[in-house]
Structure 1
Amino acid sequence: MTDHSPTSGTDTPVNDRMLTLDRLRHLITGGEIDTVVMAFTDMQGRLQGKRLHAAYFLDVALKAGTEGCNYLLAVDVEMNTVDGYAISSWERGYGDMEFVPDWQTLRLLPHLPGTAMVQCDLAWLDGEPVLESPRTILRRQLDRARDMGFSVHAGTELEFIAFEDTYEAAHDADYHRLRPVNQYNIDYSVLGTTRVEPLLRDIRNHMYAAGMDVEGAKGECNFGQHEIGFLYNTAMVTCDHHVVYKTAAKEIAAQHGRSLTFMAKYDQREGNSCHIHLSLRGTDGDLVFWDEKKNARTKLYDSFVAGLLSTMADFTLLYAPNVNSYKRFAGGSFAPTAIAWGTDNRTCAVRLVGHGASARLENRVPGGDVNPYLAVAAMLAGGLHGVEQELKGVSETQGNAYESGEELVPRTLHAARERWATSEVARSAFGDAVVDHYTTMADVELAAFDAAVTDWERRRGFERL
């Protein structure tokens, strides 16, 4: 039996709003916490796991851990078991994976009474890590960066559309004719955000109490569209916060009798983006993206950007993992189409912003449906490839990148799947097991979509064809 209780230094909290195990034990014995969620992030970027009674958590799970079926990394969005995955099948017997707590993620979930959460890595029962787990995929790229002398910082900007309808009502209406919380473009509108401020305020305050550094909220372009921003952090912490926030925002919306969606493209107006900011530092904290004496980008920064761009098409599957993801990529939409970079240029796939300590790149390809661990891992793998190969800087695209003539981001999941499955760089960076696993994920999504009859087809063909 593996002892999962923390060793010295492994439960040092990110900030004083996160929990230590001693603090959690005190809250449990004092009757303030009665439920502990042990959760991991699945392929689709969702939290999956168990709610444990707090006494059982302290008496049993703290040392023995808990387990879950390995099909949790081999199902489709609707939790159907599907064929094609090497790690999980009827022939393999659908065995278990072990939940391995990362005690630095221990936090309160203040929007849920008496509840705390710890996020977990996944391991096989012999203790070997599950290589296909999104958190493990990112961890391996972070280890690669550390071995090269770099620490990694990231921030995610996640948009959603909020509706007056409950999730139950939206389901019963087959997601038709839902009522957005705003009826016009409220980009930066204070009046527009005031109308939904009780919900936004609840999300902001609960997330701050859960250990996240909240920046603020703003309106966006689509009807009922909003963004709540968080301060950047180390890459793993940012991704851990991201998935907790995404789940909690839905739960808090439900508590308000409303619903919200992070779909990349809900309708024909602006989609939900998830712009990802990333920068490298030396492991000693020194700047590596910026030469302060020259007040200019370093060659390393340029090589990192070149690597990110050169792998953009190969890695798009990790930035845009669903059929719906590709509906965002439209000219003049603020979602990119051209694989290009520009200085503070929002028409490019990669936007360079800041200088000095704030110098960073923004990947504008991912949508709100992205799995942050996979996307940040892809950005790192691409950028570090550029650094290792000492790729020369790519010429900047100025003006309207939609009309630049540069190579385009793959426009369909099928095209992205082909680039990913046949990419030598992907197989070198992630390994065959990971590439094959996520190729199967794309195949499952494509098969489901190809078998579906859409509303568009019915409207177009019911009478007139």
Structure 2
Amino acid sequence: MSGLADAAEVVLAMPDLYGRLVGTRLAGDFFRAEVAAAGYGGCDYLLSADVDMRAFASYAGSYGDVVLRPDPATVRPLPWRDRTVLVLADAVDRAGAHLPVAPRQILRSQLDQLASLGLTALVGTELEFLVFSESYREAFTAGYGGLRPASRHNSDYALTGLGELDDLVGRLLRGMTDAGLRVESARGEVHPGQYEIVFRYADALAACDGHVFYKTGAKQIAEAAGRAITFMPKYDTGEGNSCHVHLSLRDSSDQPALGDADQLGEFGEHFLAGVLASAPEFTLLCAPTINAYKRLAPDAFAPTSAAWGYDDRTRALRVVGAGPSLRFEHRIAGGDANPYLVVAGIVAAGLDGVERKLPLPPPGGSGEPLPRTLESAARLWRDSAVARKAFGDEVVDHLAAAADAEQSAFAAVVTDWERQRAFERL
């Protein structure tokens, strides 16, 4: 594994159901001598834990170990931590078989289906975040309320008024570049304090690996700078944080498979029709939390129905580009989405459309409504014949159980809104 020879510390991590990196820090010499070849144990509940790290179900039923097997293709330095590298791991059992509910494996299974047709997927993600002047500890002490955004106005495409953002954004750009991520663009966004950094597209699995690395690293860099950032889809009534996913397909000759010039071909139309048809049932993959559905609301610059258009940002799916760059932009996911699950859902739905030769509706139109709550999204996902065929009952039921756990946790909490509404007046 390149980049490991001089590392004093190796962070071995895997993505959990929420796309967070969880794992352990290991001494470099210990990793090189034993872990690189044999893997390292990690508790099975890491694949069935909610945001508070409470298990909604033990995957193996015993809180025992699974094996975290390092993927040598994922080694990256952590430039903000001296002589440290991060290696992503696959969750496997003692016999070396991949655990089907692990997010990397969920995506890999769909990419294997593409490969059987001689196709590969290229993916680029656009992830927005909010920057605050306070540190994470200060934000925690304040109950995450009343925080000061690091810019004062709508800064969409702005080149001024971003002074309080510049230092942190500079650190993020330098850190990610030094870690090997290829930055394409960086700019202010609509909500005060909002920013977006876009990285170069890559093979689908590598793109998702880069996405989770960036998200974790950005928080670490912000914390070291005494700032707080959030990727949550809807912090307040202002503009939410999205995660737009650009996807194109290439054939075995590395030629565009969705269409020619700037128009979709027959294959591309069937593929896009499948993504549209399954969008309501697959919304759970894009919006896994209670908060996500506050972003998917009318007049919020986020889609509320499964409609498409050519270069139309008001739709859930936007076909854009020409020639080798012909692709579509999937605009449903929020900043809390797990990229592996989002891309896996896009591929599975698209292949279903191809298999059934689904007709593509005309661009524009209202489209099928997307679910407006986590409860309705989980119900559609659980009842989806397309999902069960593509992913299997074990994966469908596991992700539905995660949604149930999120809903139960929220249902047990009395919110500030309820107290303000009912304490005196009801």
TM-score by length of 1: 0.90
Q: CA RMSD in A?
A: 1.2
After superposition, where does 1:244-323 map in structure 2 within 5 Å?
244-292=213-261, 296-323=263-290
Match of 1:78 among 52, 60, 81: 52
Match of 1:454 among 407, 411, 415: 415
Q: Is the counterpart of residue 173 in structure 1 residue 142 in structure 2? A: yes
* Residue of structure 1 in register with 2:337 after alignment: 370
Match of 1:149 among 85, 95, 118: 118
The one-letter amino acid paired with 1:24 is L
Distance 2:301 2:145 in 1: 25
Task: Give the secondary-structure state (helix, strand or coil) at the position aligned to 1:218.
Answer: strand
The one-letter amino acid paired with 2:400 is T
Among all aligned residue pairs of Structure 1 and Structure 2, give the percentage whose two residues are the same amino acid: 46
Cα offsets for 1:77-134 (capped at 9, x unmatched): 0001234x5x24xxx3211110111101111110112110111111011211100000
Distance 2:177 2:252 in 1: 28
* Residue of structure 2 in register with 1:46 after alignment: 20
Cα offsets for 1:219-252 (capped at 9, x unmatched): 1111100001111111011100000000010111
Where does the alignment leave 5 or more consecutive residues of structure 2 unmatched? none
Distance 2:110 2:2 in 1: 31
The structural deviation recorded for 1:23 is 4.2
* Residue of structure 1 in register with 2:41 after alignment: 67
Asked whether the equivalents of residues 187 and 218 of structure 1 are also in contact (C-alpha less than 8 Å), the reply is yes
Task: Give the secondary-structure state (helix, strand or coil) at the position aligned to 1:157.
Answer: strand
Q: Is the counterpart of residue 228 in structure 1 residue 197 in structure 2? A: yes
* Residue of structure 2 in register with 1:359 after alignment: 326
The one-letter amino acid paired with 1:244 is F
Distance 2:4 2:55 in 1: 36
Asked whether the equivalents of residues 287 and 337 of structure 2 are also in contact (C-alpha less than 8 Å), the reply is yes
Cα offsets for 1:307-345 (capped at 9, x unmatched): 000000111100110010000112222101121001111
Asked whether the equivalents of residues 192 and 219 of structure 1 are also in contact (C-alpha less than 8 Å), the reply is no
The structural deviation recorded for 1:22 is 4.7
* Residue of structure 1 in register with 2:207 after alignment: 238
* Residue of structure 2 in register with 1:342 after alignment: 309
The structural deviation recorded for 1:196 is 1.2
Match of 1:422 among 383, 403, 418: 383
Distance 2:257 2:39 in 1: 40
Task: Give the secondary-structure state (helix, strand or coil) at the position aligned to 1:368.
Answer: coil
Task: Give the secondary-structure state (helix, strand or coil) at the position aligned to 2:32.
Answer: helix
Where does the alignment leave 5 or more consecutive residues of structure 1 unmatched? 1-20, 398-403
* Residue of structure 2 in register with 1:389 after alignment: 356
Task: Give the secondary-structure state (helix, strand or coil) at the position aligned to 2:367.
Answer: coil
Asked whether the equivalents of residues 193 and 218 of structure 1 are also in contact (C-alpha less than 8 Å), the reply is no
The structural deviation recorded for 1:260 is 0.2
After superposition, where does 1:116-131 map in structure 2 within 5 Å?
116-131=85-100
Q: Is the counterpart of residue 441 in structure 1 residue 421 in structure 2? A: no
The structural deviation recorded for 1:405 is 3.8
Distance 2:121 2:214 in 1: 21
Distance 1:348 1:325 in 2: 18
Distance 1:416 1:22 in 2: 42
Task: Give the secondary-structure state (helix, strand or coil) at the position aligned to 1:196.
Answer: helix
Asked whether the equivalents of residues 78 and 85 of structure 2 are also in contact (C-alpha less than 8 Å), the reply is yes
Match of 1:218 among 173, 187, 206: 187
Structure 1 runs of 4+ off > 3 angstroms? none
Distance 1:382 1:160 in 2: 28
Distance 1:309 1:161 in 2: 30
The structural deviation recorded for 1:186 is 0.8
Task: Give the secondary-structure state (helix, strand or coil) at the position aligned to 2:140.
Answer: helix
The structural deviation recorded for 1:296 is 3.0
The one-letter amino acid paired with 1:429 is A
TM-score by length of 2: 0.98
Distance 1:236 1:411 in 2: 29
* Residue of structure 2 in register with 1:329 after alignment: 296
Asked whether the equivalents of residues 56 and 401 of structure 2 are also in contact (C-alpha less than 8 Å), the reply is no
The one-letter amino acid paired with 1:426 is A
Distance 1:193 1:322 in 2: 30
The structural deviation recorded for 1:204 is 0.8
* Residue of structure 2 in register with 1:58 after alignment: 32
Task: Give the secondary-structure state (helix, strand or coil) at the position aligned to 1:226.
Answer: strand
The structural deviation recorded for 1:456 is 0.8
* Residue of structure 2 in register with 1:96 after alignment: 65
